[in-house]
């Protein structure tokens, strides 16, 4: 029997995508893992791979208009099936229907959203999925421009505005901040970097060390590795950390997976590759979504300290400022030490102040004892 190919949901917030091109032609066979088609989302262009071997029998032509998630764009036959069985396969494309919560159905009726056009990451459509779909259907906002002209807001900026407004409006944010002694952190980075350069390995940045410190803290405090979704706390799978990456017209938050299990040089290589793909709009589906926390590092831009807005559905975001020499008290005397400020933004629906403070303490402990970050993953067991 023919199998539908649908517009995939390449991230928790994606509600529609543009079909850019087909990597296979009708009648061609393909293997599992081969690219089938390319999609443009609000964040990147991504190639979608085949989940199994088969033969492409129908393919919707690429177009400028976006299509909703779960819209049928083509069909294929599994390996060993006959082409004759697929006559007229796409004459009446069907939409994929998924179960929805009562609150999601009520919101869909109220907002005029078609549930059949929504695909939920967890399989069951929840109210948050409907709200994101409704926001995506809203017309582009126009801002005043000089000489009486209007300047349409870029799509990425509109998506950022909608998501951050929804996050700040619905999640009760609170913040905890700590000044961290970065003397050992800088020393380890300099020493380790020299060894890496001799071996031709990727450069080690403070961001890599921050990512590892955040990941170990998330692992040691599983309560923060969850999000508030449709009225309940939903745990995330694994220790996956989002990284805020600046783009020309906004930012994106791709995800590094299983960071707590990554050796530091491998993490540096993966981080470098991820940032390059993000800035080239070539992120893959696995690069997005299901993060337990996000790191936003503005230290390279001269920022000392800041408070960030949560990246839903995560419960914590770690904001890091620059390392700078400051006068601090050391054993009762004034001393000049390199320090940095780390601020945790937390969702009070998921964790409380003490949990956030303990999480931040673990991040600080790892940064002030950075030798721990260089140990093999199997040696970084929870103490």
| pLDDT computed for residue 91 by the predictor | 46
Express each pLDDT in 29-78 by its tens digit.
999 989 999 998 766 778 888 989 999 999 988 877 788 888 889 999 99
| Residue 214 confidence (pLDDT) above 90 | yes
Nearest to 73 by CA among 30, 111, 24: 24
- Is the pTM here over 0.75, yes or no? no
Average pLDDT over residues 104-113: 72
| Residue 256 confidence (pLDDT) above 90 | yes
CB contact at 8 A, 120 and 127: no
335 strand-pairing partners = 328
Cα separation of 125 and 118, whole Å?
7
Sorted by where each starts, the structural domains of the chain and their CATH numbers stand as 3-96 (2.40.50.100), 163-379 (3.30.559.10)
Average pLDDT over residues 89-105: 55
Most confident stretch, 62-71, 161-170, 306-315, 373-382: 306-315
> Does a cis peptide bond (omega within 30 degrees of 0) precede residue 243?
no
| Residue 372 confidence (pLDDT) above 80 | yes
> Could you tell me what percentage of the chain is helix, strand and coil, using 3-state DSSP and rounding each to the nearest 5?
35, 30, 40
Express each pLDDT in 318-369 by its tens digit.
999 999 999 999 889 999 999 999 999 999 999 999 999 999 999 999 999 9
Express each pLDDT in 166-213 by its tens digit.
888 889 999 999 999 999 999 988 888 877 777 877 778 999 999 999
Q: What is the mean pLDDT of the chain?
A: 84
Express each pLDDT in 117-167 by its tens digit.
776 655 567 777 777 777 666 554 444 555 555 667 777 777 788 788 888
| pLDDT computed for residue 318 by the predictor | 97
CB contact at 8 A, 37 and 51: no
**pLDDT greater at residue 239 or residue 85:** 239
Average pLDDT over residues 1-14: 80
Cα separation of 244 and 264, whole Å?
19
| Residue 268 confidence (pLDDT) above 50 | yes
CB contact at 8 A, 57 and 26: yes
| Residue 283 confidence (pLDDT) above 90 | no
**pLDDT greater at residue 114 or residue 81:** 81
Most confident stretch, 126-130, 222-226, 374-378: 222-226
Q: String of b and e for 77-107 (b: at least 16 CB within 10 Å)?
A: beeebeeeebeebbeeeebeebebbeebeeb
Cα separation of 304 and 104, whole Å?
42
Average pLDDT over residues 73-87: 77
């Amino acid at each position: 029997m023919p199998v539908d190919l649908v517009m995939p949901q390449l991230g928790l917030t994606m509600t529609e995508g543009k079909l850019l091109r087909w990597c296979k032609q009708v009648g061609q066979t393909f293997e599992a893992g081969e690219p089938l088609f390319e999609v443009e989302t609000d964040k990147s262009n991504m190639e979608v791979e085949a989940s199994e071997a088969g033969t492409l029998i129908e393919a919707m032509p690429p177009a400028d208009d976006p299509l909703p998630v779960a819209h049928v764009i083509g069909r294929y036959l599994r390996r060993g099936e006959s082409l004759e069985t697929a006559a007229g396969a796409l004459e009446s494309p069907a939409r994929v229907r998924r179960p929805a919560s009562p609150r999601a159905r009520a919101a869909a009726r109220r907002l005029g959203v078609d549930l059949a056009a929504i695909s939920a990451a967890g399989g069951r459509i929840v109210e948050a999925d409907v709200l994101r779909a409704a926001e995506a259907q809203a017309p582009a906002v126009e801002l005043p421009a000089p000489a009486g002209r209007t300047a349409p807001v870029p799509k990425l900026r509109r998506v950022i505005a909608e998501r951050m407004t929804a996050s700040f409006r619905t999640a009760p944010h609170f913040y905890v901040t700590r000044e961290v002694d970065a003397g050992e952190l800088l020393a380890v980075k300099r020493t380790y970097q020299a060894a890496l350069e001799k071996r031709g390995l990727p450069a080690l940045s403070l961001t890599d060390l921050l990512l590892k410190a955040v990941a170990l803290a998330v692992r040691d405090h599983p309560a923060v590795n969850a999000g508030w979704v449709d009225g309940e706390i939903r745990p995330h799978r694994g220790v996956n950390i989002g990284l805020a990456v600046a783009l020309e017209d906004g930012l994106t938050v791709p995800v590094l997976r299983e960071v707590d299990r990554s050796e530091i040089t491998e993490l540096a290589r993966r981080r470098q590759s991820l940032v390059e793909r993000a800035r080239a709009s070539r992120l893959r589906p696995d690069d997005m979504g299901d993060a337990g926390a996000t790191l936003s590092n503005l230290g390279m831009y001269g920022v000392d300290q800041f408070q960030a807005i949560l990246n839903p559905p995560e419960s914590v975001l770690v904001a890091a400022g620059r390392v700078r020499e400051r006068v601090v008290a050391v054993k009762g005397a004034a001393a000049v030490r390199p320090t940095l400020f780390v601020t945790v933004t937390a969702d009070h629906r998921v964790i409380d102040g003490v949990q956030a403070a303990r999480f931040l303490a673990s991040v600080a402990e790892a940064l002030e004892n950075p030798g721990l970050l260089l140990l093999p993953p199997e040696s970084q067991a929870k103490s």
